[in-house]
Amino acid sequence: MAHPLYAGFFISFWAIPKMTAGHLLFALGMSVYILIAIRYEERDLRGLFGRDYEEYRATVGMLTPKFWKRAA
């Protein structure tokens, strides 16, 4: 997966025994923030590594592992 740290943050925000209204608001806000941050990070990585990064991203999942191969 391309963003294992962000995936771990998602798990830590959402995997709790009791969801309170305050924690729900926090988890939603942080999830939106992370999804926006991923777009900016990937834009920067494409600018830095170019085609190599695009080829890498085609072979891995964003927040979950990719278990299938892309048809050539």
pLDDT, residue 65, reads: 84
Burial class (CB in 10 A: 0-12, 13-18, 19+), 13: middle
Neighbours of 8 (CB within 10 A): 11
State how far the Cα of 14 lies from the Cα of 12, in Å rounded to an integer: 6
Give domain limits for the chain. Answer: 4-59
Q: Is the pTM higher than 0.85?
A: no
For residue 33, the 8-state DSSP code is H
pLDDT, residue 51, reads: 95
For residue 50, the 8-state DSSP code is T
Burial class (CB in 10 A: 0-12, 13-18, 19+), 52: exposed
**pLDDT tens sequence for the chain (72 residues):** 889 999 999 999 999 999 999 999 999 999 999 999 999 999 999 999 999 999 999 888 888 887 776 655
pLDDT, residue 58, reads: 87
pLDDT, residue 66, reads: 79
